[in-house]
Amino acid sequence: MTKVAIVVGSLRKESYSKKLAANVATMFPKEYVTEFVDINMPLYNPDYDDENRVPAEYTAFRSTMTSVDAVLFVTPEYNRSVPGALKNALDVGSRPYGASVWNGKPAAIISNSPGNLSAFGANHHLRQSLVFLNMPVLQQPEAYIANVAEILDASGHLSDKRASAFLQSFVDAFVNWIRTHQR
């Protein structure tokens, strides 16, 4: 079994990113297990690691991320970049120095927006961080989902056949990417 962590950039209960991610999670082949990973943690502070007072949330997060084979990021855009909670998760997972939970794990990004810009800025800012973290990121197809509210029904299920077909092709490409980059 291949374990894929799903890291959602939004902390909102009714976030479009969470709804979109829940739909995408069902598109993986049966030999892939997806796990949503909580990123609601205290802000990263190196003193926690240096002084051996690591918050329990950091320890749980790092342990979970160490156990997965690949990571799917699904994120909105805040002020032309990634949400602070997502950037914090990247920082928490990258430390202490030399013990990054991200190193070498295949990754893919789906950015989304209720508007027309489809979180292009968040997608590309996240890619910059993932390059530094040594995560091979799926290049094509790129997944920028504009007007996300229009492709979900009242229950949060994908209701747009074109979007569903595109997201399935994205997952298929990510699965091939994972197979290519598995350790």
CA distance 3 to 33: 5
Q: 117 falls in which pLDDT band (50, 70, 90)?
A: confident
Q: What is the pTM of this model?
A: 0.97
Dihedral angle, C-alpha 175, 169, 107, 120, nearest 10 °: 180
CA distance 25 to 32: 10
CA distance 61 to 55: 10
Q: Tell the CATH topology of 2-181.
A: Rossmann fold (3.40.50)
Q: What's the pLDDT tens digit per position in 135-170?
A: 999 999 999 999 999 999 999 999 999 999 999 999
> Which of these, 141, 165, 130, lies nearest to 151 by C-alpha position?
165
Domain residue limits, the chain: 2-181
CA distance 58 to 123: 24
* Average pLDDT over the chain, rounded to an integer: 96
